[in-house]
Structure 1
Amino acid sequence: MYKNRLEAGQILAHELMIFKNDHPVILALPRGGIPIAAPIVKQLNTDFDIIIPRKIGAPYNEEVAIGSVTEEGHAILNQSLIERLAVPDSYIEQATLKQVQEIKRRLNTYRQGRAPIKLEGRVVILVDDGIATGYTMHAAIQSVQHQNPKKLIIAVPVAPPETVDTLTELIDAVVCPLQVIHFQAVGQFYDEFNQVSDEEVSELLKIIV
């Protein structure tokens, strides 16, 4: 269990010190990944940016992920679940477009005109406050890999071991101090797990960047 995202980020920062000499780019997934990334960026004294993949929710229950989409608009879909729920193609197209528009809105809000950091040839560490199914992180991985990084690492405080194993096959390493078999939701592993607002993200970005 973690007290809050700050404590989880401090623990991850200690684990990630082995990469300090690589001068990695810390890429956080808003909103929850931003307060996790803050102590990591400070400890490693390195570059920071954001990446915003978005979950594609099922009809009538958007909490159920049927896939995810990158900021470039590429969708990664759970075809077996889509078939089981009989989700029509028209819904997927509309939901994907809606999430891409939300990605652009958030990028404009958070970046405030700042250009994204070039990732080609860099060691990149993707940071979030936890992983459940891995679909959103999968989209982030794909987006980063298109930019030809030297090495790609995921750092999260908590995730199910099967998700860690799946993601490890796609990238160079996964740093996850707490791997839990009976996993229901990321928030169950934090004493404090408040929603992070756009305003809080913007304030944290002013401090980190």
Structure 2
Amino acid sequence: MIFRDRTRAGRALAERVAEAVGECGHRPIVLALPRGGLPVAAPVADRLGADLDIVVARKLGAPGRPEWGLGAIAEDGPPVYDQDNLRYAGLTERDLSGTLDAERLELRRRVRRYRGDRPAPAITGRVVVLVDDGLATGVTAHAALRWINGRNPERVLLAVPVCSPEARDLLAPETDGVVCLSAPPDFCAVGRWYEDFGQLTDEDVDEVLRRYAHA
């Protein structure tokens, strides 16, 4: 399944998420992982009549190979590590202490940049849908789910258009359900499954958040 772009993927995902959420007695909240998760999350929030906000997370990359995620952090939560990848890299959690410190600083900067003076979203007792544009290792979403679950939601769903089967299986125990339109065995990378997978900017994030804050 190849998606035209993130917005169209979100529209397709929204119907499946609505089925999974079902009837709930209060307004659910959709949380996107910025930047790429927001254009996917917006149609989902529209379909559910839900609030839309973000949860900010950062990948902990391998030294010299920052694109290889060995762990992640979300908001003010504890780090989550991919133990299999750590062993494969011949590293320990302590070896990533410098990376962790640097990414915490960048995470705080991004929280200030995207959220300003607004508090973190209130999710206690609510149905929460975490959305991203796709999952490769799933480690960043894992950190976000741990942060969400630490705030006592009623239910937590993870929703993505495409993911690796391994990421889906890893994260299922952290949720009350995973909604994934496609989990190809030859996954390789998220961008492979989009015709348009252009880089998004902080201004793109601002535009979506302003629209929903006004609504």
Q: What TM-score do you get using the length of structure 2 for normalisation?
A: 0.91
Over the residues paired in the alignment, what is the CA RMSD in angstroms?
A: 1.6
User: Is the CA contact (8 Å cut-off) linking 1:54 and 1:69 kept in structure 2?
Assistant: yes
Matched, 1:28 2:32: yes
Query: How far is the alpha carbon of 1:202 from its aligned partner?
Result: 0.7
Aligned equivalents of 1:64, 1:175: Cα separation in 2? 25
Matched, 1:145 2:149: yes
Counterpart residue number, 1:9: 10
Query: How far is the alpha carbon of 1:91 from its aligned partner?
Result: 4.4
User: Is the CA contact (8 Å cut-off) linking 2:10 and 2:161 kept in structure 1?
Assistant: yes
Change in CA separation of 1:99 and 1:118 when aligned onto 2, cut-off 3 Å? same
Equivalent pairs, count: 209
Find runs of 4+ consecutive structure 1 residues off by over 6 angstroms.
Answer: none
Deviates more, 1:183-192 or 1:155-164: 155-164
User: Is the CA contact (8 Å cut-off) linking 2:35 and 2:205 kept in structure 1?
Assistant: yes
User: Is the CA contact (8 Å cut-off) linking 1:20 and 1:44 kept in structure 2?
Assistant: no
Gaps of 5+ in 1: none
2:100 partner amino acid: T
User: Is the CA contact (8 Å cut-off) linking 2:42 and 2:52 kept in structure 1?
Assistant: no
Query: How far is the alpha carbon of 1:88 from its aligned partner?
Result: 6.3
User: Is the CA contact (8 Å cut-off) linking 1:73 and 1:100 kept in structure 2?
Assistant: no
Identity fraction in percent:
38
Change in CA separation of 1:201 and 1:140 when aligned onto 2, cut-off 3 Å? same
Aligned equivalents of 1:205, 1:80: Cα separation in 2? 36
Change in CA separation of 1:59 and 1:181 when aligned onto 2, cut-off 3 Å? same
Aligned equivalents of 1:170, 1:112: Cα separation in 2? 29
Aligned equivalents of 2:85, 2:45: Cα separation in 1? 37
Pairwise mapping of residues 1-209 of structure 1 onto structure 2 (< 5 A)?
1-18=2-19, 19=21, 21-22=23-24, 23-87=27-91, 91-209=95-213
Residues 142-184 of structure 1, C-alpha deviation per residue, up to 9 Å, x if partnerless?
Answer: 0011101111100000012232122112211000011111011
Q: What TM-score do you get using the length of structure 1 for normalisation?
A: 0.93
Aligned equivalents of 2:95, 2:46: Cα separation in 1? 42
Gaps of 5+ in 2: none
